[in-house]
């Protein structure tokens, strides 16, 4: 199974995970407050500098961006059709900057570090009796951990259907993907319970 974390020793890896997550949240808020192309373009360039210096090879870095870029371009085209070219450019730059900063953080923060930080952030909820912080941290880490796995499985199913001469259709691809994902979810839940990570 693939993970988003890249085990390297770059300057970004040496930064505290908490600082990187705080910066990501701050940048996420900032890019949605900005509505001018120039500062958004600067943010996208800064995100690109961080992302491409996170220790990945160029081919791997570009491969990771393709699924998100397809979605971002689709959003920009949709915005262009129903609004204006300026709004489309703004959406494109805003989402690209957010994607690049998020990619840099996920490449330099391990799942264990991410889970620890989320658990710590959720501690007030546990003190208020609303939820267990450890469960929130574990659930968040599992979501981040298995996103690339689900994307990889989607590509494998699409390629298998194409090899059999099946015309690509969303329903024909999503149904086996959902079934396999739910099966994995049951297996993971059973493994978590068997190891006593969750309390009744």
- pLDDT of 189 reads 64
Cβ 43 vs Cβ 100: under 8 Å: no
Say how far apart CA 22 and CA 174 lie, in whole Å. 35
Residue range 7-35, pLDDT digits in tens: 888 888 899 888 998 999 999 999 989 88
Per-residue model confidence as pLDDT tens digits over 47-87: 999 999 988 888 888 888 887 888 888 888 988 888 888 89
Residue extents of the structural domains in the chain: 11-109, 127-194
Strand ranges in the chain using DSSP code E only, listed in sequence order = none
Q: Is the pLDDT of residue 1 over 90?
A: no
Those residues with Cβ within 8 angstroms of residue 49's Cβ, 6 or more apart along the chain or in another chain = none
Which region, left, alpha or beta, applies to residue 196 given φ > 0 means left and ψ of -120 to 50 means alpha?
A: left
């Amino acid at each position: 199974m693939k993970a988003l974390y890249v085990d390297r020793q770059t300057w970004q890896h040496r930064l505290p995970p908490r600082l990187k997550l705080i910066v990501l949240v701050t940048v996420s808020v900032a890019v949605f407050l900005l509505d001018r192309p120039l500062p958004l373009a600067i943010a996208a360039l800064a995100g690109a500098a961080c992302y491409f210096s996170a220790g990945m090879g160029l081919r791997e870095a570009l491969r990771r961006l393709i699924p998100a870029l397809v979605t971002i371009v689709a959003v920009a085209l949709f915005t262009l059709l129903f609004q204006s070219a300026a709004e489309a450019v703004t959406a494109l730059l805003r989402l690209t900057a957010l994607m690049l900063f998020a990619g840099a953080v996920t490449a330099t923060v391990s799942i264990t570090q991410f889970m620890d930080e989320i658990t710590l952030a959720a501690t007030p909820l546990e003190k208020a009796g609303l939820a267990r912080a450890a469960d929130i941290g574990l659930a968040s880490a599992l979501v981040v951990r298995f996103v690339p796995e689900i994307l990889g499985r989607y590509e494998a199913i699409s390629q298998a259907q194409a090899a059999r001469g099946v015309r690509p259709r969303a329903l024909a691809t999503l149904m086996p993907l959902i079934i396999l994902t739910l099966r994995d979810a049951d297996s993971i839940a059973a493994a978590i319970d068997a190891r006593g990570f969750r309390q009744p």
